Amino acid sequence: MDIKDILSKCDHTLLSQTATWEDIKAICDDGMKYHTASVCIPPCYVKEAKEYVGDRLAICTVIGFPNGYNTTAVKNFETADALKNGADEIDMVINIGALKAGNYQYVEDEIKTLKQTCGDKILKVIIETCLLTDDEKIKMCEIVTRAGADFIKTSTGFSKSGATFDDIKLFSKHIGKNVRMKAAGGISSIEDAEEFVRLGAERLGTSRIVKIVKKQEADGQY
């Protein structure tokens, strides 16, 4: 698989608590240079980042991150604020406790609310697979499909573990035809990235792929 194809599916990510504007600017420079799908950055940097990159790169940010237990009203305000500041894509975290309690309508309504606010902007729904049973993952495939979100996403990268091949295989069997898949968290090699894409993931949430390519470039291999 051509490395450029993999890069074109990467949401080049920096969500560290210690990230400065200079760090975010560097991520944006990488995204533009290597033609990634987007950069995924903290909400507080969206406005600066969009002014910096203009139309040369999509800006993605996170909502209710990383634990998902903000109220729907707070998540909706965060979403509207991010869009006003120039965000092109929104990655929201579900209320995992509500899912586990069987409050499926709450989870679905929250996604619907944020999708309505997003309009034609992309909404990805992070379900934190490492905290869910397979039955809960299947239920979330159904909920995300009904709610009209654009993507189902495995992980925040801030919990016990990240994306697995088995999760993407499971998603692919249970999502609707209009829902795409994003694998995120722990994607540490080109080989892993290739396998996630082969299994049907259309986006990869990672910072390591660009780092690997930059090292290959320095070594004269890219």
pLDDT digits (tens, 9 = 90+) for 51-85: 999 999 999 999 999 999 999 999 999 999 999 99
Task: For residue range 79-109, list pLDDT tens digits in order.
Answer: 999 999 999 999 999 999 999 999 999 999 9
Task: For residue range 146-189, list pLDDT tens digits in order.
Answer: 999 999 999 999 999 999 999 999 999 999 999 999 999 999 99
Q: Which residue has the tokens 């991520």?
A: 27
Q: What per-residue confidence (pLDDT) applies to 150?
A: 98
Amino acid, single-letter form, for residue 175: I
Number of domains in the chain: 1
Q: What per-residue confidence (pLDDT) applies to 41?
A: 98
Of the candidates 9, 137, 139, 182, the residue annotated as catalytic is 182
Is 137 marked active-site? no
- Rg over alpha carbons for the chain, rounded to the nearest Å, is 16
44 inside domain: yes
Contact between 96 and 140 under an 8 Å Cβ cutoff? The reply is no
104 inside domain: yes
| Number of neighbouring beta carbons within 10 Å of residue 177 | 6
- Exposure string of 78-92, with b = 16+ CB inside 10 Å and e = fewer, is bbeebbebbbbbbbb
Of the candidates 137, 153, 167, 192, the residue annotated as catalytic is 153
pLDDT at 221 over 90: no
Please tell me whether the overall predicted TM-score, pTM, comes out greater than 0.95 for this model: yes
221 inside domain: no
134 inside domain: yes
53 inside domain: yes
Query: How many angstroms separate the CA atoms of 28 and 30, rounded?
Result: 5
Amino acid, single-letter form, for residue 6: I
Q: What per-residue confidence (pLDDT) applies to 110?
A: 99
pLDDT at 222 over 90: no
Contact between 121 and 88 under an 8 Å Cβ cutoff? The reply is yes
Query: How many angstroms separate the CA atoms of 196 and 163, rounded?
Result: 9
Domain that holds residue 121: 3-214
92 inside domain: yes
Of the candidates 91, 150, 167, 192, the residue annotated as catalytic is 91
Q: What per-residue confidence (pLDDT) applies to 205?
A: 98
The CATH code of the domain that includes 114 is: 3.20.20.70
Task: For residue range 13-39, list pLDDT tens digits in order.
Answer: 999 999 999 999 999 999 999 999 999
Is 182 marked active-site? yes
Is 153 marked active-site? yes
222 inside domain: no
Query: How many angstroms separate the CA atoms of 137 and 119, rounded?
Result: 25
81 inside domain: yes
